[in-house]
Structure formats: C-alpha cells, structure tokens
Amino acid sequence: MRNLSLKQLQAVAAVARLGTMTRAAQELNVTSAALYARIRQLEEEAGLLLFDRTPTGLKPTDAGREMLWAIDSINTVLETCTDRLRTLKGGAGGRVTMGVVSTAKYFAPQVIAGFVGRHPGVEINLSVGNRGSTVEALRNYEIDFAIMGRPPRDFAIEAEIFGPHPLVLIAAPSNPLVGRRGLTRADLSEESFLVREEGSGTRTVFEEFMNGVIIKRARLGIDSGSNETIKQAVMAGLGIALLSAHTVAAEIESRRLALLDVQGLPIRRDWYAVRRADKVLGPAARAFWEYLMQDGARWLPGVDAAALEAPAS
C-alpha cells in the first residue's frame, strides 16, 4: 500500500468512531461521496473490506482494526515528535557539540556538569584537542562552538570572553629560585625551559614573554604537546615552564609544584567562547553559550598568593 496517505487513515478513524459516512464526512469537512471514494480506494488496494454494515452502523473489520492500529501508532509518533520539538524550542533538550583546547580540559567537565544540572535533558558531545585541531573543527562546522584562549583570525567568527586565563611560571619545589621575590627574566637565563608545541596558545605567549631576553639563551629541554608531560618533567627537576594556572592548580596546592615570582607574571589572558559567524546555534547550544557568559568563570580553578611562599622544609 505505497499510496496510503494520512488523510485516508484519518477517514478510517472518523468512520470507525462515528459509525456513518455522513457524520464522518461532516467532521472531516468533505462530501460523503469524497469520503466514500477514499475508503473504497483503500479497500481496493488492501483487497479487503474495512467496515461491516450493521444495524448500529459501520463497524471495522479485522482489516479495519489493523488500519486503526496504524493510525494510533502514527499519532503516538507525531505526539512524541511534537513534545521533542517543544523541548528543543525551550532549550531543555537537544544536543550540544563543543570543542575545547587541551588546556581547557582541566575545567570543561565542571562547566558541563554545572550546565547539565540546569538542563538535564541536553546531550553534550565534547571534543578535546590542540588549538589547531579545534580551529579546524570550527572552520569545518564540526562543532557548535569552542572554548579557547586565542580566537582564530583567518575566517569570520564571533567570540566572547567568559573568564580570566592567567599563565604562570612553575618549578620544582626544590628549585633555588622558589621563594625569591621579584625575579627578572634575566634571573631565569640559566634555567632550562620546557615548552608546549609550536602553534599552541601557551607557546605563543611564552615566546612573546621571552622575546629578546631569555629565549635565545634558554636551554629548551623538550617540545611537548601535553601539559601533563611538562608538569611531570618540571616535578622531576628537568626545567621550568610557563603554563596556564588552571592546569597546575592542584599540583600547586599539594606543593608538588611551586610558582616563581617573576616580574610581569602572571600573564593575563582570557578564555573565549568562539563560534563561526555564520553558525546558527540551536536552542540547546544557545543556552550553553549564555551559561558560559553568566557562570563559566566560577568553574575556573586558580592559585592564590600563598603559593608563592617557599615550601616548608
């Protein structure tokens, strides 16, 4: 029955409920002849009668009851679809696809948990990568928006700041520079620096900060795309590193790492929510974007001034 239409099924339902062609035609606002033609066409396609004529009116046959079951099933699907569309329109459901640079993975789960607490019906798809892969995901419409520290400039985007992003210099607690106040960049000239990979936002800030002073004389021990690798190397005493304060907050608090008090540090940057300018956010993604602007900063970990004190011996 490839030509079966919703109007034909509605005709069957009306006749079964009202018992006569005349009353059903009046309800459907069609002529009795047109309604009869619909029912007759269905019966011809099915090769079965859909109604029996009885003293109390038209009653559905077994074939008619199968049609009514199909109508009920379709109505259930349509009602479910309507409910889901209503939910999407209200921002209470739907899906958000977001990308975060690797440094943001230290607080992104907390942001997501806060949002989902208010919007439990929303599904979140999270992609973590370096800045290059996150920018490409934005460029190719693979994500709704991204969290990053330095928005791209080679295609049209919309970006809004939602919180501070300080970068700090860390060392092993046993490093002789720990506890000294007001260090200059010249004081760091004999230190080995552990740096992020080329193209990362942290690497760019490092090169800007050391430009013309330290970077020419620094002994760069490793070149790593992982904050974790760099932190472990610093803890092992292999060098010092400039990293996001958000990535080292736990280690500073537990005194596995120490902050160096260097003039010009911490370097203040900002966290941005970024989307393509021509990307239309759905209700759920729009709700998440607005949540970031209002409450995103509260989930950012930090380090306090006490972390600059020399660790207890």
- The pLDDT of 180-199, averaged and rounded, is 83
pLDDT band at 279 (very low <50, low <70, confident <90, very high): confident
- Burial label, 12 (beta-carbon count in 10 A; 0-12, 13-18, 19+): buried
The predicted structure's pLDDT at residue 10: 86
| 313 band by pLDDT with thresholds 50, 70 and 90 | very low
pLDDT bin (cut points 50, 70, 90) of residue 91 is low
Count CB-CB contacts under 10 A for residue 281: 16
Per-position DSSP letters for 131-187, written without gaps between them: HHHHHHHHHTT-SSEEEESS--SSS-EEEEEEEEEEEEEEE-TT-TTTT-SSB-GGG
pLDDT value, residue 255: 93
**Higher pLDDT residue, 292 or 81?**
292
The larger pLDDT score, comparing residue 134 to residue 192, is at 134
Distance CA 236, CA 79 (A): 61
* Side-chain-facing half-sphere of 132: CA atoms under 13 Å: 7
Mean pLDDT of the chain: 85
Q: Is the pTM of this model over 0.75?
A: no
pLDDT of residue 186: 83
Give me the domains of the chain, ranges plus CATH numbers. 6-69 (1.10.10.10), 88-163+270-299 (3.40.190.10), 164-268 (3.40.190.10)
pLDDT tier at 170, thresholds 50, 70, 90: very high
The continuous run of DSSP H or E covering 98 comes out as strand 93-101
As a whole-number percent, the residues of the chain with pLDDT over 90 amount to 45
The residue with greater pLDDT, 190 or 92, is 190
Task: Give the separation between CA 307 and CA 5, rounded to whole angstroms.
Answer: 72
3-state class (DSSP) for residue 190: coil
